């Protein structure tokens, strides 16, 4: 007997290749669970994750924001609100996620690593781009960090679904204490140059261990929480490994994809959504890469979210979700926005020089 007889079409390559469109290919086939508009989503991860929250909100989904802008903070100030569910900025690695969760839930003390920029503003090096304005003093940075961690704890306790987009395996850690930075501090500003940083390329075992610790901690305070992993399709800006960045990107994404699968296999409450495959598989015919071949076009993000809504939240308005893309701005503008929010861009001096000052 041929066990492949009777398998549904999505399990056959030909059926996917022959599908009229990606939307028809049922690329999310095999999912464990769907969501309703009543589910409160919290989002975190790499820059690709920002768009998930934005569009989910636009489509009528409920995004949990545990840190909201106080009326005394002008809307005109980019102070990190409503990019993610709390002001943690981009979380590229599983280690960063684990450390944030551990700090928020009191498993470990708050990590306070602040640096004074040349303009006198104090940056929180664990979320430097989340709060680009920085703080007026170290005491204020410390107070804000403590408040932020309480907000993360609230978020973890209140969310129904935690969406985490895995971004990188490569990271820089504090040489003395081992904690993880979102971006190498010395790439932010020359005055942060130091020999106190150490490069790490996390292995699959380390990543799974970190993800395991993070979801266990989450479930300890929120036993009904579900977790949805995605992998960012956005390539590395640069690799610190002595090899081609394309090769490093393939390895990183492969490792992250395996880690997500491992977690999905371990836990009934963990699932994976294939945004990575939607963008990178041959089914998309490479049409979702923006100029530069690293970022994803607006169409690509659109397609990911439309498939998400169709597969996981059929009650939501896909039309609305589509209309929300970049508020109707040009794909180039959205691609620029994606680039704009990526801490990683600081790794490439040639890109960094094109960023606005400050």
Residue written as tokens 């700090």? 103
To other proteins, the closest distance from the beta carbon of 331 in angstroms equals 35
Residue 222 sits at the vertex; the CA angle it makes with 130 and 85, to the nearest 5 degrees, is 20
Nearer to other proteins, 140 or 191 (CB): 140
Q: Does the protein bind other proteins through residue 273 (CB under 8 A)?
A: no
Long-range contacts (CB closer than 8 Å, 24 or more residues apart) made by 62-66: 62/37, 62/38, 64/40, 64/155, 64/158, 64/159, 66/42, 66/151, 66/152, 66/154, 66/155, 66/158
Identify which of residues 85 and 264 has a Cβ nearer to other proteins in the complex: 85
> Which has the closest alpha carbon to 196: 185, 207, 205, 187?
185
CA distance 71 to 232: 34
77 or 194, CB closer to other proteins? 77
With CB under 8 A as the contact rule, the residue among 143, 247, 286, 330 that binds other proteins is 143
**Helix 204-221 crosses helix 245-266 at what angle (to 10 degrees)?**
40
Six-digit token string for 263: 């977690």
Query: Mask 149-168, x = binds other proteins (CB under 8 A)?
Result: -x------------------
Q: Which of 99, 102, 124, 144 binds other proteins (CB under 8 A)?
A: 144
Among 37, 147, 194, 319, binds other proteins (CB under 8 A): 147
Residues 55-74 binding other proteins (CB under 8 A) are 70-74
Nearer to other proteins by Cβ, of 34 and 136: the residue is 136
Stretch that binds other proteins, among 29-37, 146-154, 257-265, 309-317 (CB under 8 A): 146-154
Number of residues that bind other proteins (CB under 8 A): 17
* Closer residue to other proteins, CB minimum distance, 14 or 70: 70
Q: Which is nearer to other proteins, 75 or 176 (CB)?
A: 75
Using alpha carbons, select from 100, 113, 210 the residue that is nearest to residue 151. 100
Minimum CB separation from other proteins for residue 150, in Å? Answer: 5
Residues within window 101-140 making contact with other proteins, judged by CB under 8 A: 133, 135-137, 139-140
Site residues (vs other proteins, CB under 8 A): 70-74, 77, 133, 135-137, 139-140, 143-144, 146-147, 150
């Amino acid at each position: 007997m041929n066990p492949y007889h009777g398998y549904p079409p999505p399990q056959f390559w030909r059926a996917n290749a022959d599908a009229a469109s990606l939307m028809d290919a049922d690329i999310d086939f095999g999912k464990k669970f769907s969501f309703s508009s009543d589910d409160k989503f919290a989002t975190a991860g790499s820059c690709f994750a920002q768009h998930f929250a934005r569009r989910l909100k636009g489509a009528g989904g409920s995004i949990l924001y545990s840190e909201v802008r106080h009326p005394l903070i002008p809307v005109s100030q980019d102070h990190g609100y409503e990019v993610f569910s709390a002001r943690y900025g981009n979380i590229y690695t599983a280690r960063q996620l684990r450390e944030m969760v551990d700090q928020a839930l009191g498993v470990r003390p708050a990590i306070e690593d602040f640096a004074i920029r040349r303009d006198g503003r104090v940056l929180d090096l664990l979320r430097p781009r989340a709060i680009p304005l920085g703080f007026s003093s170290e005491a204020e940075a410390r107070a804000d960090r403590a408040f932020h961690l309480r907000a993360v704890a609230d978020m973890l306790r209140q969310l129904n679904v935690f969406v985490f987009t895995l971004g990188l395996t490569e990271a820089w850690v504090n040489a003395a204490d081992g904690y993880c930075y979102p971006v190498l501090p010395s790439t932010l500003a020359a005055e942060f140059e130091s020999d106190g940083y150490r490069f790490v390329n996390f292995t699959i075992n380390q990543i799974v261990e970190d993800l395991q610790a993070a979801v266990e901690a989450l479930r300890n305070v929120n036993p009904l929480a579900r977790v949805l992993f995605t992998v960012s399709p956005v390539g590395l800006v640069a690799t610190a490994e002595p090899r081609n960045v394309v090769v490093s990107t393939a390895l990183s994404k492969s490792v992250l994809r395996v880690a997500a699968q491992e977690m999905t296999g371990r836990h009934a409450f963990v699932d994976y959504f294939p945004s990575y495959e939607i963008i990178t598989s041959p089914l998309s015919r490479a049409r979702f890469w923006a100029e530069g071949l690293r970022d994803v076009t607006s169409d690509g993000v659109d397609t990911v979210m439309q498939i998400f809504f169709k597969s996981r939240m059929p009650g939501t308005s896909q039309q609305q979700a589509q209309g929300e893309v970049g508020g109707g701005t040009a794909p180039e503008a959205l691609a620029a926005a994606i680039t704009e929010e990526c801490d990683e861009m600081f790794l490439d001096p040639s890109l960094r020089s094109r960023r606005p000052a400050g």
